[in-house]
Amino acid sequence: MNSTQFCYEYAVGSCIKPSRSTVSRMVLYSSCVLLMLVTIMGNLAVVMTVSHFKVLHSPTNFLSLSLAVADFFIGMIVLPFSSIKSVDGCWYFGKIFCTVHSGFDMCLCLTSIFHLSCISVDRYYAICDPLLYPTKFTVPVAVCFITVCWILAVVYSYGLLFSSTIEDKMEKLVQELPCFGSCQPAFMRLWGWLNFSIFFIPCVLMLGLYLRIFLVAMKQSKMINVMSANSQCLKNSGSAKREQKAAKTLGIAVGVYLLCWLPFIIHTTLDTYFNFITPPLLADVFNWLTYINSACNPIIYGFFYPWFRKALKLIVTGEIFCQGSSTINLYQKK
């Protein structure tokens, strides 16, 4: 008896569903739902916190807010459909929505890396040029950075997906494309190198900036320890320490980003030159690593920022809805 199952039983050339037991499917779907919930709720908490509390209305936090919005939409728009595609091995939502979904996926992920690049520039000036930082990186500058990040991501993602070059290439690859019921954009070699450049170059920039930030922060720490006897210096050192901790936390966020994204970037680039030899299961693992990154930033905030934990407590207890709650100083120690 033939137990082979197809995505579309009565369609010619339909994809074959991967053979998975009911238990394994339940485990996979449960894991996907858990990741979605962590991504959505965690980033929603960041959005609510930075939006509500006035003390957090700074250029850095506005960049973090916009980053959280991108990650939130990954959880809301991208992950539900990607979960079905990964677990069932089938795309049930049509060719047009496949293109739209792929565009959302690429656009939101690009937005994340652009924001992390901007945040690294912000931290560089905050630590390495603290006297001029308030005049160089203002809220209007942060808004300009955010706008450029979103526009560039949208133009690149959908421009690439809908370009005539891609369409011509897809026509030539019709015989090589997967079966009916799949959603896999046609990757050209040019696309692979473009993706490598647009993801990898910002990563190199961030690593260089954070190396410089680390060296400067070490010097500042030594100076703070020397001058800590003076009360005024203690007051100033508190702000400096807060800036250094913010840089350290965002550095960890960049490190997590690299761990999640480098396998996918390398795989995408090399696969186009080796006739797509990566097994589908391994390619799917690389893809989901990038999604995991969207859930990591709020967790990093929770572990390293006391003000975020305090804000979460106010949100959970409902105190955020009390009059005057927006003026609470989350940095103040009780």
Average pLDDT over residues 289-305: 82
Residue 10 lies in a domain: no
pLDDT for 43: 93
Q: For residue 170, what pLDDT band results from cuts at 50, 70 and 90?
A: very low
pLDDT at 174: 43
The pLDDT of residue 149 is above 90: yes
d(CA 101, CA 177): 18
Nearest by Cα to 166 from 186, 145, 149, 194: 186
User: What CA–CA distance (Å, rounded) separates 187 from 207?
Assistant: 28
Query: Would you state the pLDDT for residue 189?
Result: 53
Q: How many domains does the chain have?
A: 1
pLDDT at site 128: 81
pLDDT of residue 195: 66
pLDDT reported for residue 81: 92
174 vs 15, higher pLDDT: 15
Residue 2 is predicted with a pLDDT of 52
Lowest-pLDDT choice from 68-77, 207-216, 291-300: 207-216
Beta partners for residue 16, in sequence order: 6
pLDDT score at 239: 55
In-domain check, residue 16: no
CA 101, distance to chain mean position in Å, is 16
In sequence order, the 6+-apart residues with CB closer than 8 A to the CB of 11 are: 180, 181
Residue 39 or residue 202, greater confidence = 39
Domain coverage including residue 119: 22-322
Q: Does the residue 106 lie in any domain?
A: yes
Average pLDDT across the chain, whole number? 79
Q: Using the structure block, give the residue that is written with the tokens 């990607």.
A: 82
pTM of the model: 0.83
Do the domain assignments include residue 12? no
The better pLDDT of the pair 9, 177 is held by 9
Statement: residue 172 has pLDDT above 60 = no
The CATH number linked to 54 is 1.20.1070.10
Instruction: Report yes or no on 28 lying in a domain.
Output: yes
60, exposed or middle or buried, with CB in 10 Å at 0-12, 13-18, 19+? buried
3 domain residue, yes or no:
no
Domain assignment present for 2 = no
Q: How high is the pLDDT of residue 141? A: 93
pLDDT tens for each residue of 6-21: 777 776 777 778 888 8
